[in-house]
Each structure stands twice: as structure tokens, then as C-alpha cells.
Amino acid sequence: MSEWKARRFWKEVSTREAENGWEILLDERILRTPGKKSLVLPTHELAAALAEEWDAQDDVIDPGSMPLTRAANSAIEKVAPQFEGVADMLADYGGTDLLCYRADQPQELVRLQAEAWDPLIDWAATELRAPLVVTQGVMPVLQSPDSLAVLRQEIHAMDVFGLTALHDLITLPGSLIIGLAVARGRLDAEDAHRLSRIDETYQASQWGEDDEVRQNAESRKAAIHTAARFWNLSRTG
């Protein structure tokens, strides 16, 4: 038995201003989330980007080609109902941030990590006012409660669309600081992905990179780019 697939039923896609943001129309039908919740976007730019994804669909709808739509649905159906829990989970990355855990050998990797990550540690101390302790090895290091409180406040101050974007910007690199650096314009998506892979890139230079590792890296890279774009589109306007 062949799998049922949703098919395009509309001719035109448009956007219109709503009471609290922007809506998308498929012909004259208001687009809603899969759970039938109102899909109201915070900016016209984000609504227009989602409309482009829907307008680009052929006869058979391909959800995989609509990453911004999936992110918006997630913001409304998943993140909004459990905002505090999601914010707490992301804030917890401050205590185990990737940038704080360094190799003690070989010296080349030690140097690469320092050159790539020290500027962001310095940025967190000055721009975010959240100095973090750097250690070598994998033994846990206790961070300043004051620094963690500042980072937690930063995360909890986000709106639901910003928090949705930050979810991937933080969890995929494994770094709260990298995620906030993208949000504040200190890094772009390409830099965020590159800085999160210092160890992987070094190991690949020594031993080569297999197809699975490369494919996983490309998948994370694409998701980080989508999250950064979702963040930027939800801020403008």
C-alpha cells in the first residue's frame, strides 16, 4: 500500500497583517499549525519567508523543504506551552559550555581551541557580564552563580520565537555562549558551526573524516543556518 501524502490544494499564497502580527493565506484560507492553532508570525519578513516555502511546493507537499514553517509550528505548539522549562534547559548549558572544556593535549589542539574560543570567553565576560571558568579535561568545573544568573536572565528574557531559534543555536554547538553570540550579531551561522567543530576538524586532519561524520556535520550546519535565519527574520520589521 502506498503512503498517503498531502497534496497542494491552493493556487496563491499571500500574507496579511493580523491583530498581533502577520498571517499567511492559502488562497482565502488562513494557514494554521498542524494542531490547528493560530499561526501568527511576529514580523512581515518572517511571514513572507514562510509564504515563499509554501508557494514553492509542487503537487506533493514536502515538509522537509519548509524548515522555517517547521520552526514556527514548533514555537507555537511546543515551545510556548512550556516556555519556562525550555528556557531553564537552555540556560543550564551555561554550566557545561563547550568553550569552557579544553583538551590538555596534543598541544596543536590546545592552541587551536584557545585561538578559536578565548575571544568568545572574553566577549562573554565583557559584553554579557558573565565571566566563565575555563578548564582542561572533562572533570566538571563550577561556574560563578552570578555569571549563571546573568545568562539565565538573558535566556528567560527571550520571546517564544527567539527562544525557538536559540534552541538549535545552543544545543547543536553545545554552547550557550555561541548561541548568544549569534543572537547578538557577534557570530554568523557559518562561524558558529566552525567554532563548534574545532575538535572534530582537528581529528579529521589527523585521521580523515568518514562519510557519516561528514553527513552529520552538514546536517547540523544546515540546522544552525536555519535557526540563525529564523532568529533574524523574527527580529526585523
Contact present, 131 and 147 (Cβ < 8 Å): yes
What mean pLDDT do residues 42-55 have? 96
pLDDT digits 0-9 by tens, 81-139: 999 999 999 999 999 999 999 999 999 999 999 999 999 999 999 999 999 999 998 88
DSSP, res 75: I
- Contacts (Cβ under 8 Å, ≥6 apart) of 52: 13
Where b means 16+ CB within 10 Å and e means fewer, 61-95 reads eeeeebbbbebbbbbbeebbeebeebbeebbebbb
Q: Give the Cα separation of 66 and 233 in Å (integer).
A: 15
Neighbouring C-beta atoms of residue 41, cutoff 10 Å: 28
pLDDT digits 0-9 by tens, 136-188: 988 889 999 999 999 999 999 999 999 999 999 999 999 999 999 999 999 99
- pTM, 2 dp: 0.93
Domains identified in the chain and CATH numbers: 1-57 (3.30.2180.10), 82-235 (1.10.3580.10)
Q: Give the Cα separation of 167 and 23 in Å (integer).
A: 24
Q: Can you give the pLDDT at residue 1?
A: 39
pLDDT band for 193, please (50, 70, 90 cuts): very high
